[in-house]
């Protein structure tokens, strides 16, 4: 990637986006908030490491899961997405 088409991660971190940037496919340039959320909770090096350790076909789903968990943790730092799972489980029981 050229500097003008940096991914959201590289834009957020104000660095060059290399051709082999692991984050580019999962954090597109038009959605910097998606990466900012994940960065705040997990940190860039952890996200990069987790994605690199996965098979390529699983990375997109893992990135989506990280975004969901990070968003939930920002909204509710104690329970995160566990609160949502519990609430949905309670709705199933009530139904």
What string of pLDDT tens digits covers the 95 residues of the chain?
Answer: 444 578 999 999 999 998 889 999 999 999 999 999 999 999 999 999 999 999 999 999 999 999 999 999 999 999 998 988 999 999 999 99
pLDDT of residue 2: 44
Residue 19: the pLDDT is 87
Res 4: pLDDT: 56
CB < 8 Å & 24+ apart, contacts of 32-38: 32/8, 34/8, 34/67, 35/7, 35/8, 35/9, 36/8, 36/12, 37/67, 37/70, 37/71, 37/74, 38/63, 38/66, 38/67, 38/70
């Amino acid at each position: 990637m050229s500097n003008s088409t940096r991914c959201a991660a590289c834009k957020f971190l104000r660095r060059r986006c290399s051709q082999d940037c692991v984050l580019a496919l999962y954090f597109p340039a038009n959605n910097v908030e998606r990466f900012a959320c994940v960065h705040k909770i997990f940190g860039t090096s952890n996200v990069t490491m987790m994605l690199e350790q996965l098979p390529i076909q699983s990375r997109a789903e893992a990135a989506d899961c990280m975004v969901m968990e990070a968003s939930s943790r920002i909204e509710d730092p104690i329970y995160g997405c566990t609160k949502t799972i519990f609430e949905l489980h309670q709705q199933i029981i009530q139904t």
